[in-house]
Amino acid sequence: MNKSTTIAELTRSDYKILSVKQEMRKNLIEKLKNNGKLFPGIIGYDETVVPALCNAILSYHDIILLGLRGQAKTRILRSLPALLDETIPIIKGCEINDNPFKPVCKACNDKVKEAGDEVEIEWIHREERYGEKLATPDVTIADLIGDIDPIKAAAQKLHYAHEGVIHFGIIPRTNRGIFAINELPDLQPRIQVGLFNIMQEKDIQIRGFPVRIPLDVVIVYSANPEDYTNRGNIITPLKDRIGSQIMTHYPRSLDDGIQIASQEAWEKRDSGREIHVPFFFREIIEQVAMEARKSEFVDQKSGVSVRMTVTSLENLISNAERRTIRHKENGVVPRICDLYATLPSIVGKIELVYEGEQEGETNVAKALIGKAVKTIFQKYFPEPYKAMKKGDRVYADVVNWFKNNNAVNIADDMRTDEYLKELSKIKGLNQIVTRFMKVDDSRPAELGAAMEFVLDGLHQNSMLSKDIIDNQTSYKDMLSTMMSSFQSDDDDDVSGPEDMF
């Protein structure tokens, strides 16, 4: 299709220019008719956020997305241009993307007066019609709307009351497009007041100019409800002008969270080694986040970002990758002991309440991992105490093996053959794994990870004891460990005469 190059050609082509909200509504209706994917990459919102977004767009509303950190608010905002036409015509060289049929800026009106319908036009892509600004306390009205440019006035020898000296801000430069403001509460109240006219009357006024410049722009916002008290507030008159307030949320199911982490994490590494993450590891990592979102030690008002699961998965893979590189092995398969390599990804992304601070962020993070392992363990294997009550001796061989002062010592830097050899010492462990889990026979390392999963699951259910020193993990009999601990305490309580002074 040949695109018009002048206003005259555009007129003859019968091209109809729609407002931004009309464009978005038209294209959304088309996607809904064709059952097209509305917001690619947005997972877990199909029954909640997406319908609300559709309703707002169909209603010609400006929108605010309200939710805690890591809930895909910015990603949703940046996906909105997909609902615009692929290209639209503007007067060539216009700073504010003027409509060729109804120019509003002085420069374009002067062009039309001089050349009439022979004024040149150009076509801009939908991606050029999206603007975004992170709200910070130092943002000014000049940044958003515009101001007088003294350099332009001097260069063109114009007085300050001339429209030609206006320097447009970022919002007018997004005219006929979508403009997003992230973290709205951080914007100072006096600056929020400057948005009133854009939201309601759809025009702007700069300084003392008697001219009001009409704009065609959709304004969308994001905000964190916790920011209302921590850093600022959204003033009520501005909230009143926003058509739809849409609440976002964290993944409501384990599967949604796993899908998000798998989509966002960097798993296809460049080391030339095959990366294989058994599914139960993905479940454990997502379960850690779900445990954190209900933990009494974690500040729930702050939230637990999805970024925690993404970076945890990456660190889990990296720890296994580091091991295989050192030992010149090919397959990269994580182990349960690698889970503690995710601690740096957890402690930096959870805010603790007072009780959590007393426990210490590392201890809280380790406890969250332990709870997650226990929960996922019970998805695959019988709960140990319930099995015992039913007379099911599924774990008897494994637990009895440890009662003879036997122990298993593993580390995250052991070679795969050494790791498997150490775990294979335990009578009945292999049989438990093959009975309850589907393990890829072509990957011995996956079998080893599943065997360690059973040991850690038994520990989390108080059937075995576990000691971690640096990267060394030891599993032992629970009762003998407790007895030796009591004996050690008794020895410490015996004081000689010299201890009395």
Element (H, E) at 114: helix 106-115
Query: Is there a single domain that holds both residue 21 and residue 134?
Result: yes
The Cα 116–Cα 88 span in angstroms is 20
CATH number (domain holding residue 121)? 3.40.50.300
pLDDT in tens, 170-213: 999 999 999 999 999 989 998 999 898 888 888 777 776 666 78
Round to whole Å and give the CA distance between 106 and 152.
14
Measure the CA–CA gap between 304 and 141, rounded to whole angstroms: 34
> Which positions ≥6 away from 344 have C-beta within 8 Å?
315
Domain-ending residue, one of 191, 225, 247: 247
Confidence class of residue 227 from pLDDT cuts 50, 70 and 90?
low
Q: What is the pLDDT of residue 495?
A: 40
Residue-wise pLDDT tens digits, 68-100:
999 999 999 999 999 999 999 999 999 999 999
Q: What is the token pair recorded at 170?
A: 């970022």
User: Is the same domain home to 456 and 346?
Assistant: no
In a domain, 2, yes or no: no
In a shared domain, residues 127 and 43: yes
Per-residue confidence at 166, pLDDT binned at 50, 70, 90?
A: confident
Q: Are residues 293 and 419 in the same domain?
A: no
The single residue listed with the structure tokens 């999805």 is: 306
Q: Is 261 helix (H, G, I), strand (E, B) or coil?
A: helix
Backbone angles phi, psi at 46, to 5 degrees: -60, -30
Contact of 41 with 79, CB cutoff 8 Å: yes
pLDDT at site 348: 87
Whether 335 and 389 map to the same domain: the answer is: no
Q: What is the pLDDT of residue 399?
A: 93
> In terms of residue numbers, what domain contains 257?
250-377
Q: Is the dihedral of CA 204, 209, 211, 213 positive or negative?
A: negative
349 and 403, same structural domain? no
Q: Which of 358, 377, 396 is the last residue of a domain?
A: 377
429/269 Cα distance (integer angstroms): 32
Task: Say which CATH number the domain at 340 has.
Answer: 1.10.8
Torsion angle (degrees, nearest 10) of CA 249, 253, 254, 260: -50
Window from 139-148, 216-225, 454-463 with minimum mean pLDDT: 139-148
Domain check: are 354 and 426 in the same one? no
Instruction: Identify whether residues 234 and 276 lie together within a single domain.
Output: no
User: How many domains does one find in the chain?
Assistant: 3
Based on the domain organization, do 177 and 235 belong to the same domain?
yes
Residues 91 and 51 in one domain: yes
Residue 32 tokens read as: 């809904």
User: Is 179 among the domain residues?
Assistant: yes
Residue 499 lies in a domain: no
Query: What is d(CA 434, CA 346) in angstroms, rounded to the nearest whole number?
Result: 32
Beta strands of 430-496 (E only): which ranges?
A: 464-469, 472-477
pLDDT at 487: 52
